[in-house]
Amino acid sequence: MEDWGFGGIGNITTEHSHPTNVVDAAHVQLPKPFVVCIVGASRGIGAGIATSYAKAGASGLVLASRRLSGLKATAAECKKINPEVQIEIVPCDITSSEDVTALAEKTETAFGGRLDVLAVNSGYSGPIKIKLTDTDPATFQNAINVNYVGTFLCAKHLIPLLLQTEGGAKAFIAVSTVGTMIVRGPFANTQYCVSKAAQLKLMEHVHEQYYGEGLAAYSVHPGAVLSEMAEETVPEDFRWFLKDSPELCGAWCVWLTKDGSKRNWLSGRWVSANWDADELEAMKDDVVSKDLFKLKMTQPVMR
């Protein structure tokens, strides 16, 4: 593949397009109660996160999005998988502080103040423009509002619920992208890449500020998925690249958040759902000692 500025991924040599047995949510039995809030659950990757937690036996799901019709379809699919799961559908514009406040209040009321996992999947790309001078200012601002500010609003209003949940998983997941590392090539859509890089750095701050209180913050690249957003923006010549299952990210979210704090060593880091989970766990000592998979300068800052 042409070098588009992806960077290396350490010693991980095996990648997957679909959930493996190691991360398959159907092989997981989550403790009860276990409540998950998914922002951006109306389609594609977000719906895949919801169905994965339904497979794993979550007792409660909060499905949020601006698209109510999509949320109802996701809820119906989750009920087919897990008829006992309690589902709350909440209309929410992630760029609105009032809407996200209402989402937090609804979650607290519906589940007695419990929240184990928050997964923020809402994202906006806009038309791919390789040159800044060709980029519409309103489109650029919208990407910032959805991908970066929206994640901040979810953190501000929903982290308190995660922290107050006694014995909870206390996990905050942001659906990230390999685009945070891209600076060239046909997918280097500045508004998307820059806003998602800002989101990644925000998640590192969340880790630094709340890890001592038991919160784990993960940034998860979902793979190359032909989502509806991708359908709207990716040139036809590059559709072949988008071959990964929308269920892959959900399976990884379950894998990260099961078994209590077993994978908290990945908190504050960027991980890819394409990676082989066993190979990643074998790298644990190296990842921790070298503080890998974070957004850094390639040289130390000189004072």
Cite the active site residues: 192, 196
Of 159, 157, 124, 154, the closest CA to residue 142 belongs to 124
User: Contact 85/59 with Cβ under 8 angstroms?
Assistant: yes
Distances (CA, A) of 12 to 9, 55, 174, 274, 279: 6, 27, 22, 10, 6
Cα(184)–Cα(17) distance, integer angstroms: 24
User: Contact 61/53 with Cβ under 8 angstroms?
Assistant: yes
Cα first-last separation, the chain: 38
